[in-house]
Amino acid sequence: MKTSIATVSISGSLPEKLEAIAGAGYDGIEIFEQDFIAHDGGPREVGRMIRDHGLEITLFQPFRDFECLPEPLRSKAFDRARRKFDVMQELGADRILVCSSVHPRSLGGIDRAAGDLAELGAIAQERGIYVGYEALAWGRHVNDHRDAWEIVRRADHPNIGLILDSFHTLGRGLDSESIRAIPGDKIFFVQLADAPAIDMDLLYWSRHFRNMPGEGDLDIRSFMQAVMATGYAGPISLEIFNDQFRGNNPRGVAEDGYRALISLMDDVRRAEPDTPVDLPEIPARVKAQGVSFIEFAAQGDEVDRLSAFLATLGFRRTGRHRNKAIDLWQQNDIRIVVNAETEGHAAHAWNARGTCICDIGLSVTSAQDTVARATALGSAPFGQPVAPGELDIPAIRGLGGSVLHFIDAESGLDQVWELEFTPVDQDGAEAGLMRVDHLAQTMSYEDMLSWTLFYTALFEMEKSPMVDVIDPDGLVRSQVVEAPDGALRITLNGAETHRTLAGRFLAENFGASVQHIALTTEDIFATAEALGRQGFEPLPIPQNYYDDLAARFDLSADFLARLQAANVLYDQENGAEFFQLYSRVLAGGMFFEIVQRGPGYTGFGGPNAPFRIAAQKRLERHKSVPKA
Ligand SMILES: O=C(O)c1ccc(O)c(O)c1
Ligand SMILES: [Mg+2]
């Protein structure tokens, strides 16, 4: 399977685009004419530069407003085509995209279009060029791939074929199944783009909001299943017009696309095992079983402050690493690792960000398979020197320099705590915190699609619709990705300004990072009491909040008083209850949340988020934030 991406999908100059595309692992590019024209260098040089990057030109595009013109416009269009064929021959490109005309003087008519294309096919044939015809969703007379196919069929020329673009088909709500009847060898090229479900003008939607397969809401998989069922064996190419991507880091966008493409084609193969897909076998999406550990990087006094804080949450230091300055803190199924090493990944993270969460360990069925899938999707494996007696725990780089480790029982990696840590018997009462409910990552708004794709391509996780959270100083977008059984839940918060709490955290933390950890209890009031005895200071919630609760829900005065006394936030979903208790904000902007999730409650207390953020900011302004 040849992977390809249109140069228009990536930001930067042509050399920068090529560097990013080649680095991300694609076989070829669709060269967008504008990228070529804007470049200072002739077609031969450009062709050489592309090939020097190990890339081939899969398509030259677009050629517009060709078919169905009256004379003298018709002859002019043929002249234009001949000139473009000249350029293509110098570039070393043999395939061109002709998109359906939007010309005001285009006459329309299927036979007229077929006649024009057949004549163009004869000219192309002399040059060894293949012409693909694409129906733009807003084409003047042709805006449906079924009509484009009828034109190509009637043109009946070996150098004239069809180009399919998932956006034009799915964006107009056309049924992909109609593709199955087209002979695969008459499909000359396939372009893929997803898009978020927003109701707007088709052209505007297409030119500004396309995104990578899986990042939007279109059913790209069904589209691609239908395409592969035809026997199509040509390149599969991403053509993504997106305003935001045009400003993002070129390599990051190219890598997202590669991850999206491989993951999509793996899905297509699994959905239709009898259809050949020429792609190396890769392990299936991984079923995450939960968070095995959360690792903090800390140094010096910060270790003591963090340790004291963990103790107020009912954690006990249960182990000390045999060879390293690493402590293990535990409470029921929750493990927190405090890494004070002065070399290695944790030390690097600390140097860049101070006390922070530098690593997440996830429990999976097979750590090897997880790394194999992640690397097939373009992630870099991560490794550090392993001392004798230590386990080599498989790991990858996530996005933005983050690290994820994978622990399984299958290869005995779950023995790491007994093998590498000396037990420490430390006193202290626990507070009924049972397991990790979710991790909340903060990132810049531009990185949200990348992270969502990262998790949903690697794990059996689904995304929920994006919601807005109001910070008094701006908007934060929030998106949940979670395993169907809730074993792993991650909330992604995208900050748009530095004035929001999330935005400030981000500014101080260089890229996406876990900003808060939510832990479950089965009895929020008992936990609140136990925490109080350990000296835990909750985030104070104002009276107004409880007055409003009394109006929103049918709660007894006693119950409201209990909530208020414990600074517990409350929510309901179809009668199922949800309770939240927040810590104060630690150095660097991190905090903990304690939740009690009633059976059937699937949310995250979204309605409470603005009040929680306002309370955190109020405390911060009063400078009563304890330094962790
Ligand atoms: O927006 C456009 O004009 C345009 C051009 C070429 C394409 O392949 C396409 O899908 C859209
Ligand atoms: Mg297209």
Q: How many CB atoms lie within 10 A of CB 611?
A: 18
pLDDT in tens, 98-139: 999 999 999 999 999 999 999 999 999 999 999 999 999 999
Separation between Cα atoms, residue 394 and residue 492, nearest integer Å:
24
Report the separation in Å between the CA atom of 59 and the middle of ligand 2, taken as the mean of its atom positions.
11
Residue 628 has pLDDT above 50, yes or no: no
Which residues neighbour 173 within 8 Å (Cβ) at sequence distance 6 or greater?
none
Whole-number pLDDT of residue 159 = 98
- State which of 134, 203, 223 you would mutate to test the pocket of ligand 1, scoring each by most atoms of that ligand within 8 A of its C-beta: 134
Which of 39-43, 260-264, 570-574 has the weakest average pLDDT? 39-43
Model confidence at 253: pLDDT above 70 = yes
Q: What would the mean pLDDT of 143-152 be, rounded to a whole number?
A: 98
Pocket test for ligand 1, best of 9, 99, 165 (most atoms within 8 A of CB): 99
pLDDT at 624 over 80: no
Looking only at the bridges linking them, the beta strands covering 467-471 and 474-482 are: antiparallel
Q: How confident is the model at residue 511 (pLDDT cuts 50, 70, 90)?
A: low
Query: Which of the 8 DSSP states describes residue 233?
Result: -
99 ligand 1 Cβ < 6 A: yes
- Ligand 1 pocket residue status of 165, Cβ below 6 Å: yes
Give the tens place of pLDDT for each residue, 401-440. Answer: 889 999 999 999 999 999 999 999 777 789 999 999 999 9
Answer whether 441 contacts ligand 1 (Cβ < 6 A).
no
Intrachain domains 288-423 and 433-621 with the same fold: yes
What would the mean pLDDT of 574-578 be, rounded to a whole number? 95
CATH architecture assignment, domain 3-271: Alpha-Beta Barrel (3.20)
Q: Which of 133, 206, 209, 242 has most ligand 1 atoms within 8 Å of its beta carbon, as the pocket-test mutant? A: 206
Peptide bond into 62 cis (omega under 30): yes
Mean pLDDT of 509-520: 84
Which residues make Cβ contacts (< 8 Å) with residue 198, sequence separation at least 6? 205, 209
* pLDDT tens-place string over residues 480-508: 999 999 999 999 999 877 788 888 888 77
User: What CATH architecture applies to the domain 433-621?
Assistant: Roll (3.10)
206 close to ligand 1 (CB < 6 Angstrom): yes
Peptide bond into 72 cis (omega under 30): yes
Task: Give the rounded percent of residues in the chain with a pLDDT score beyond 90.
Answer: 86
Q: How far is CA 5 from the centre of its chain?
A: 18
pLDDT on residue 427? 77
Label residue 607 by pLDDT band (50, 70, 90).
very high
Handedness of CA 372, 373, 375, 380 (dihedral sign): negative
pLDDT at 441 over 50: yes
Predicted pLDDT of residue 627: 46
512 has pLDDT over 70: no
Domain positions in the chain are: 3-271, 288-423, 433-621
Q: What is the mean pLDDT of residues 200-211?
A: 97
Establish whether residue 98 lines the binding site of ligand 1, counting it when its CB lies within 6 angstroms of any ligand atom. Answer: no
| CB distance 134 to ligand 1 below 6 Å | yes
Give the number of the atom of ligand 1 that is nearest the alpha carbon of residue 241: 1
Look at residue 506 in the predicted model and tell me its pLDDT: 80
Q: Are 323 and 310 in contact, with CB atoms under 8 Å apart? A: no
Nearest to 222 by CA among 262, 174, 163: 174
What pLDDT sits at residue 55?
98
Tell me how far apart the alpha carbons of residues 263 and 251 are, in angstroms, rounded to a whole number.
Answer: 18
DSSP state of 574: T
Task: Quote the ipTM score.
Answer: 0.99
Q: What distance in Å separates the CA atoms of residue 475 and residue 264, rounded to the nearest whole number?
A: 32
Ligand 1 contact via 207 beta carbon (within 6 Å): yes
pLDDT digits (tens, 9 = 90+) for 384-402: 999 998 999 999 999 988 8
Eight-state DSSP code of residue 9: G
Pick the residue whose CA is nearest to atom 2 on ligand 1: 207
pLDDT tens column, 348-364: 999 988 899 999 999 99
Calculate how far, in angstroms, residue 262's C-alpha sits from the geometric centre of ligand 2. 20
- Mean pLDDT of the 514-531 span: 97
Segment 61-71 mean pLDDT: 98
Q: According to the model, what pLDDT value does residue 623 have?
A: 56
pLDDT score at 401: 81
Chain segment 309-324, per-residue pLDDT in tens = 999 999 999 999 999 9
pLDDT tens string 85-101: 999 999 999 999 999 99
Question: What's the mean pLDDT in 192-211?
Answer: 97
Binding site for Mg(2+): what residues are annotated?
438, 516, 593
Q: How high does pLDDT run on average in the chain?
A: 94
Q: What would the two tokens of residue 493 be?
A: 């918060």
Q: Which residue, by CA, sits nearest to atom 1 of ligand 1?
A: 207
- Strand partners for 462: 482
Residue 625: per-residue pLDDT? 44
- How far is it, in rounded angstroms, from Cα 543 to Cα 71? 78
Query: What is the length of the chain?
Result: 628
**Tokens encoding 274:** 């009898």
pLDDT band at 510 (very low <50, low <70, confident <90, very high): low
Evaluate: CB of 30 within 6 angstroms of ligand 1. Answer: no
CATH of domain 288-423: 3.10.180.10
Would the pLDDT of 68 be above 50?
yes
